[in-house]
Structure 1
Amino acid sequence: MIRTHQGVTGDDDLKPDLTPLLDIIFIVMVFLLLTASVKLQSLDVELPQTDTQALQETQADPITVNITATEPYWALQGIQIDSWDAFKAALLKEVKASPHKPVVIGADRAGSVENMLKLLAFLQQNKIKATQLLMEEDK
């Protein structure tokens, strides 16, 4: 045991001070967390193909929404609507008139993804649940 000239053990004086080491470890850890890139993972899935006749047999008179590839892009219950604002108003009116009916979306394969996302965002914003997304059958 080492004694100082005053007779007190000097164990505390001989231990290294770890505070600077901990500071450096935390700085490096924060740097690594801020610079780490997060890879978004996604799955490749094949969507099922359905035809409209099978849907009409299983669903009782759904509210049908169509997105076409050419203008006018929007159709509700088979009737084309010229503008997005008119389409939104007509869809809200139809859903409020028949809240029990399911909403079915049919999009043209060559249609704009932007139009599909715009429609899905509108449905989510207004708490309208789409029960099915239809795809055209390959011929």
Structure 2
Amino acid sequence: MYASQQRKRRRPLSEINVVPYIDVMLVLLVIFMITAPMLTQGVKVDLPQANAKPAKLPQDQDPLLVNVDAQGRYYLNMGKASHQPITADELLTKVAAVLRRKPHTPVLVGGDREVPYGAVVRVMALLQQAGAPHIGLITETPTRREPG
């Protein structure tokens, strides 16, 4: 009888071993942390600096970003061709189409510091023609200069 007491029936374990899942999640986290900065698309513009408070944008909508480079070319952050310059007519058509589908989409303009003021005003006029009720300007916060 003593031998039969030592041989207890083993029941199958119904617990899930989560250690491999944690390893997989950590690997995915590292991959996303490395690749996320590479996914940034756009055109390099040297933004003007200003002491301005950040605009409050709706959290559920991505804004339309229109950039004007130093040569006065227009860029729109839509699709895979966001680094390709577009004409004023293309800009007007594309922005109007987006605003018809999503009328409350925020529209922001980023102009290079060297671009003539008139080019930025022309872009803003085009955006108003396309139906953008409010247009924001993108700036950089000025860097503090060390005394001395």
Q: Does 1:48 align with 2:61?
A: no
Q: Which residue of 1 aligns with 2:65?
A: 64
Q: 1:103 aligns with which of 107, 111, 119?
A: 107
Distance (whole Å) between structure 2 residues aligned to residue 82 and residue 136 of structure 1: 24
Q: Based on CA coordinates, which of the two structures has the bigger radius of gyration? A: 1
Counterpart mapping for 1:71-82 below 5 A? 73-77=73-77, 79=82, 80-82=84-86
Distance (whole Å) between structure 2 residues aligned to residue 58 and residue 82 of structure 1: 25
Counterpart mapping for 1:1-139 below 5 A? 47-49=50-52, 58-60=57-59, 61-70=62-71, 73-77=73-77, 79=82, 80-139=84-143
RMSD: 2.9
Structure 1 unaligned segments of length 5 or more: list them. Answer: 1-45
- The one-character-per-residue Cα deviations of 1:48-98 (angstroms, maximum 9, x if unpaired) are 346xxx66x954311211111136x11112613332211221111222222
Q: Which residue of 2 aligns with 1:42?
A: none
Distance (whole Å) between structure 2 residues aligned to residue 47 and residue 129 of structure 1: 23
TM-score where L is the length of structure 1: 0.50
- Number of aligned residues: 89
TM-score where L is the length of structure 2: 0.48
Letter matched to residue 62 of structure 1: P
Identity fraction in percent: 24
Distance (whole Å) between structure 2 residues aligned to residue 66 and residue 137 of structure 1: 18
Q: Which has the higher contact order (CA 8 A, sep 6+)?
A: 2
Structure 2 unaligned segments of length 5 or more: list them. Answer: 1-48, 144-148
